Amino acid sequence: MITDGQLIENNLLVTPEDWMDAVLPIHESIELGQRYVFLDGIALPAKHGPVKFDGLVKSHDLPDLPHLSDSLMEETLANPEYWS
């Protein structure tokens, strides 16, 4: 989480039960043999195309997955201002 420009870590997955609660819903949506990326708490198929969803930290409306584009990566995931 970013608050007032400072990154604050959230330790939400403290116990094995917490981890399982977080992973099981993701596991149910993943298909064997497919590639995925994780963005703001969401597992997304690693395919080009628009991405729009509400994540854990912010709402996203992007022309493509940042993971698949160096320039978009710099503008978003690697840019602290994007997350504020």
Q: Is residue 31 over pLDDT 50?
A: yes
DSSP class of residue 40 equals: T
- Looking at the 3D structure of the chain, how many domains does it have? 1
Residue type for position 15: T
Q: Distance between CA atoms of 82 and 84, rounded to whole angstroms?
A: 6
Query: How do residues 6-27 score in pLDDT, each as one tens digit?
Result: 444 555 656 778 777 777 777 7
Domain hosting residue 47, numbered range: 2-83
- Residue keyed to tokens 């602290």: 80
pLDDT of 5 reads 47
Across the range 59-73, mean pLDDT stands at 92
Provide the whole-model pTM. Answer: 0.65
Beta bridge partners of 17: none
> Given a cut of 90, is residue 38 above it in pLDDT?
no
